[in-house]
Amino acid sequence: MATMKALVCRECGKEYPTKAIHVCEMCFGPLEVKYSYEEIKKSISRKKIQDGPHSIWRYADLLPVEGPTFLGPHAGMTPLVRAKNLGAYLGLDELYIKNDTVNHPTLSFKDRVVAVAITRARELGFETIACASTGNLANSVAAHAAAAGMRAYVFIPGDLEAAKVLGNLIYKPNVVEVEGNYDDVNRLCSEIAGEHGWAFVNINIRPYYAEGSKTLAFETVEQLGWRTPDQAVIPMASGSLLTKIWKGLHEMKYVGLIDEVKTRINGAQAEGCSPISTAFKAGRDFFKPVKPKTIAKSLAIGNPADGYYALKATAESKGSMDMVTDDEVVEGIKLLAQTEGIFAETAGGVTIGVLQKLVKNGTIKKGDLTVAYITGNGLKTQEAVIDAVGRPVRIQPSLAAFEKTFKMGKNGGGDS
């Protein structure tokens, strides 16, 4: 896959070799991978992709790795679920859920980006991999490092959900709990990355790592029969996922896999941490950092690194952004679970809550082919819903007790 040509500064255009660097020395702008689309176009085809592995690596031509050895061989190709029940409830004819709650191996979309990051880190000769994380990323880095036999350091905020902490420890990386929020962790890690020669997946490996998110766009298009959705609803933390889905859709057009991109991109945040959505609603192209206060901890980035680009992508697509309260997040999680049997983490509740809002205010219309991106698994954020789901019915182990509790007669009743 020698289609990577260089890293290029998004702000001033200066080019760099494809090494472990992420910031332009001249203007501090972010570096991004530059590909030779003309070359890719000659070799890529729908058939080649469909004959490829059942994972993100079927799109290796459009990923920033040299290959042919890929770490994280099972990430991606999660189900695109036709959500008939939720669609009927919301009044949408064609609603799909891109279900990354079942991504391999750690049940979130981060398995995509980490597979790419760790593959590239290995190619660049690193033996230690690290990250700053709101939880899901750390879990994925820890698991991938264990499988790849690499040393790992994961840095997490001090207030994470128990399952996300345990989901690191079990793989035995060095887990560093930082007293502070994600933005504090991130700042610390940016400084550590400058001092130690590690592959920090979301810092010096970020130009490669972030590209893994494009596979959500690629898979959606392939699973829809090589067409783009009319509407996409995407949760935003740093804003990277949203911008990369937008980029991925367009790349498919550049390399001739599809003819047009007609998707409107919609961003979702929780009210307690909505710097990007707030800027969008105010019609600004810049955001003001905030101190996060929301149960949607995986989205709790107050100073979103890609916020500026997320605003730009949404505007280019003529899409929208919105935010929901923590109560609406919980309702969103329950609604998705109870209509489609998919248990999402809090970020999923944010997505469903905002989807509901956008349908209600007419932004998303009945006939729009809509895809909602559900990026993480509810079993990791049980604290968020534990008081909102009721309790089991407790009975003595006798038929009589059961029938009495459910008010059934001797010959059945109840459900029959």
Query: Nearest distance from residue 228's CB to other proteins, in Å?
Result: 12
* Strand order through the sheet with 94-99: 80-82, 94-99, 369-374, 231-235, 264-270, 321-324
Buried b (16+ CB within 10 A) or exposed e, 307-346: bbbbbebbeebebbbbbbebebbbbbbbbbbebbebbbbb
- By CB under 8 A, tell whether 153 contacts other proteins: no
Among 215, 238, 294, 314, binds other proteins (CB under 8 A): 238
Cis peptide before 68 (omega within 30 of 0): yes
Footprint of other proteins on 325-344 (CB under 8 A): none
Q: Is 218 in the site for other proteins (CB under 8 A)?
A: no
d(CA 201, CA 121): 8
Q: Is 243 in the site for other proteins (CB under 8 A)?
A: yes
- Nearest of 242, 240, 292 to residue 271 by alpha carbon: 292
Judged by CB, which is closer to other proteins: 10, or 365? Answer: 10
> Is 191 a binder of other proteins (CB under 8 A)?
yes
Alpha carbons 403 and 265: distance in angstroms, whole number: 51
Q: Dihedrals φ, ψ of 4, to 5°?
A: -75, 125
Reading the block at residue 77, the tokens are 């190709």
Distances from the Cα of 152 to the Cαs of 143, 148, 159, 372, 411, in angstroms? 9, 10, 21, 32, 61
Q: Shortest gap between Cβ of 194 and other proteins (angstroms)?
A: 4
Total residues binding other proteins (CB under 8 A): 52
Indicate whether 136 belongs to the interface with other proteins (CB under 8 A): no
Least separation in angstroms between CB 102 and other proteins = 25
For the chain, state the CA radius of gyration: 22
Whole-number minimum distance, CB 210 to other proteins, in Å?
3
Q: Is 183 in the site for other proteins (CB under 8 A)?
A: yes
Among positions 81, 152, 313, 324, the unique one binding other proteins when judged by CB under 8 A: 313
The minimum distance between CB 87 and other proteins, in angstroms, equals 28
Point out which span in 123-131, 209-217, 350-358, 397-405 binds other proteins (CB under 8 A): 209-217
Which residue of 93, 127, 159, 316 would you call a contact of other proteins, by CB under 8 A? 316
* The one among 2, 68, 195, 390 contacting other proteins by CB under 8 A: 195
Closest to other proteins by CB, 273 or 313: 313
Per rule CB under 8 A, is residue 98 in the interface with other proteins? no
Closest to other proteins by CB, 92 vs 242, is 242
Nearest Cα to Cα of residue 273 among 215, 220, 324:
324
At a CB cut-off of 8 Å and minimum separation 6, what does 209 contact? 113, 114, 116, 117, 120, 201, 202
Give the residue, chosen from 5, 41, 262, 312, that forms a contact with other proteins under the rule CB under 8 A.
Answer: 312
Asked if 104 interacts with other proteins (CB under 8 A), we say no
Q: Which residues from 3-32 bind other proteins, rule CB under 8 A?
A: 10-11, 22-30, 32
Token pair 């264990």 in the structure block, residue? 146
82's CB contacts (< 8 A; 6+ apart) are 94, 95, 96
Q: Which pair of tokens denotes residue 238?
A: 């740093």
Contacts of other proteins in 265-294 (CB under 8 A): 286, 288-289, 291
The DSSP letter of residue 153 is E
CB of 322 to other proteins, least distance (A): 21
* 264 binding other proteins? (CB under 8 A): no
Token pair, residue 350, equals 């944010």
Best CA proximity match to 248, nearest among 265, 266, 267: 265
Out of 203, 257, 273, 329, which residue is the one contacting other proteins (CB under 8 A)? 203
Q: What CA–CA distances, in Å, run from 402 to 215, 365, 366, 399?
A: 49, 46, 43, 5
One-letter amino acid for residue 330 of the chain: V
Stretch touching other proteins by CB under 8 A, among 50-58, 66-74, 194-202, 373-381: 194-202
- Select 59 or 246, whichever has its Cβ closest to other proteins: 246
Closest CA to 203 of 70, 18, 31, 75: 31
Which range touches other proteins (CB under 8 A), out of 73-81, 142-150, 232-240, 360-368? 232-240
Min CB(205)–other proteins separation in Å: 10
Binding of residue 262 to other proteins (CB under 8 A): no
Q: Contact residues for other proteins (CB under 8 A)? A: 10-11, 22-30, 32, 37, 183-184, 186-187, 190-191, 194-195, 202-203, 206-207, 209-211, 238-240, 243-244, 246-247, 249-250, 254, 261, 286, 288-289, 291, 303, 305-306, 308-310, 312-313, 316
